[in-house]
């Protein structure tokens, strides 16, 4: 157990944007909400998963919707409180702590704002180790935990309690409701006991985000390459150096979908990289090489500062370094690949771990 203050939140926001693989919402908005909550209510307690009692109730808190919507529809924080308190009343049980559902930009920070206001601790873990676009794309689902009962809440004061037969139906129904509620909502979801969280969560994600953010900050202060430090921490690889020459992005069916094209520079001169995303970057490939594919992590970093760039933040002319990182082993199981692998998103390629693609320079099939 330790207390987190403003500097820790600043560092976590940077690391969250990187592990969020371009998605999970704008970390700047989540950071401001968390910093304001600390200003008003004081430091936030971060718990190691082993410190949580087995029978205690843990409820992840998150935003659902297209990240691009948050540019114009900034949450106030009341939505998350309403969702959380409604679920607590519905279950008739006190909630012991909250945690992120994913290592996404805003979704790593929202639980801190909620926890400060509610006087609760935050558990150092999440359900993805990165960000994914759908509610069933969590380790909790892989381990048979239910997404519901869950509560959706919007800025107008609307709230909805869902009980579904499984997490796939929770995604379908909640996605439709989210579109009607303006494209983004706050969730209280996947209520579970401490012993279930310990079995299923990806541990110490927030500490990893903090380490990543701190390494980028210290590298800039000491004038050495922040990207090299990030790759050491994440066991990652440089995939491509380039300049954004085209970006096609649209919001549809509750997601930010699109493609970014990068013109190669330096070692990648005369090559062209295509990045496809659905909230998060899902596949990176050149004309004849597959560089990285979901569930492994793809992140775009500013070539000068090493700062992560979200999918909604990509701009024409930006000079970037694209990196790939291995995902948590849970996603490399048969169930994990069927749930979040390239086939699920409609890509006609086989999943190959990023370290094998780097070693072999594998050609695209299909």
Cα dihedral sign for 362, 278, 112, 53? negative
Q: Mean pLDDT score of the chain, rounded to an integer?
A: 92
Query: For the segment 79-88, what is each residue's pLDDT rounded down to a tens digit?
Result: 889 999 999 9
Report whether the peptide linkage leading into residue 296 is cis, meaning its omega lies within 30 degrees of zero.
Answer: no
Q: Which of 146, 151, 141, 129 is nearest to 190 (CA)?
A: 146
Task: Indicate the pairing of strand 97-100 with strand 159-162.
Answer: unpaired
Report how far apart, in Å, the C-alpha atoms of 175 and of each of 45, 78, 159, 181, 278 are: 32, 21, 14, 10, 14
* pLDDT above 90: residue 72: no
Q: What is the mean pLDDT of residues 67-89?
A: 81
Give the relative orientation of helices 205-222 and 226-234 as an angle to the nearest 10 degrees.
160
The pLDDT value given to residue 255: 76
Residue 241: partners with Cβ closer than 8 Å, 6 or more residues away: 264, 265, 266, 267, 268, 303, 320, 321, 322
DSSP 326: P
Query: For the segment 165-207, what is each residue's pLDDT rounded down to a tens digit?
Result: 999 999 999 999 999 998 889 999 999 999 999 999 999 999 9
- The pTM of this model reads 0.92
Which tokens go with 237?
């690889």
> Rounded to an integer, what distance in angstroms lies between the CA atom of residue 254 and that of residue 152?
14
SS (H, E, C) 10-78: HHHHHHHHHHCCCCCCCHHHHHHHHHHHHHHHCCEEEECHHHCCCCCEEEEEEEEECHHHHHCCCCCCH
Domain ranges across the chain: 2-205, 228-360
R_g (Cα) of the chain, nearest Å: 19
The pLDDT value given to residue 366: 39
The enclosing H or E element of 308 equals strand 308-309
Per-residue pLDDT band at 365 (split at 50, 70, 90) = very low
DSSP 364: P
Superfamily of domain covering 2-205: CV3147-like domain (3.40.1610.10)
Domain 228-360 has CATH 2.40.390.10: yes
Q: What is the mean pLDDT of residues 146-154?
A: 96
Longest dimension (CA), the chain: 62
Q: Which of 199, 41, 212 is nearest to 118 (CA)?
A: 41
Top-confidence range, 29-33, 70-74, 255-259, 273-277: 273-277
Q: What is the mean pLDDT of residues 38-50?
A: 94
């Amino acid at each position: 157990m330790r207390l987190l203050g403003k500097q820790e939140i600043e560092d976590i926001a940077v690391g969250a944007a990187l592990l969020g693989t371009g998605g999970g919402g704008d970390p700047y908005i989540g950071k401001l909400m968390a910093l304001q909550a600390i200003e008003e209510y004081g430091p936030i307690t971060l718990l190691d998963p082993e410190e949580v009692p087995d029978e205690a109730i843990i409820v992840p808190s998150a935003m659902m919707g297209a990240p691009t919507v948050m540019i114009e529809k900034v949450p106030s924080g009341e939505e998350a409180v309403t969702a959380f308190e409604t679920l607590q009343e519905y279950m008739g049980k006190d909630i012991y702590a909250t945690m992120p559902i994913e290592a996404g930009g805003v979704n790593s920070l929202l639980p801190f704002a909620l926890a400060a206001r509610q006087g609760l601790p935050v558990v150092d873990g999440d359900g993805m180790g990165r960000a994914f676009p759908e509610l069933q794309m969590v380790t909790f689902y892989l381990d048979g935990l239910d997404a519901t009962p869950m509560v959706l809440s919007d800025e107008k004061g609307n709230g909805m309690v869902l009980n579904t037969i499984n997490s796939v139906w929770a995604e379908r129904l909640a996605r439709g409701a989210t579109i009607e509620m303006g494209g983004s909502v706050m969730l209280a979801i996947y209520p579970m006991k401490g012993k279930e969280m310990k079995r299923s969560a990806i541990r110490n994600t927030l500490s990893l985000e903090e380490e990543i953010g701190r390494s980028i900050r210290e590298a800039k202060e000491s004038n050495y390459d922040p990207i090299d430090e990030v790759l050491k921490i994440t066991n990652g690889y440089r995939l491509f150096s380039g300049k954004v020459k085209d970006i096609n992005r649209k919001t549809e069916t509750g997601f930010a979908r699109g493609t970014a094209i990068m013109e190669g520079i330096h070692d990648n001169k005369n090559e062209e990289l295509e990045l496809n995303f659905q909230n998060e970057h899902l596949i990176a490939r050149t004309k004849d090489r597959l560089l990285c594919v979901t569930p492994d992590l793809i992140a775009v970093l500013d070539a000068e500062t090493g700062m992560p760039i979200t999918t909604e933040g990509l701009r024409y002319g930006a000079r970037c370094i694209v990196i790939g990182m291995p995902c948590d082993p849970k996603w490399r199981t048969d169930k994990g690949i069927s749930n979040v692998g390239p086939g699920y998103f409609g890509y006609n390629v086989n999943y190959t771990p990023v370290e094998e693609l780097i070693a072999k320079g594998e050609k695209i099939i299909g």
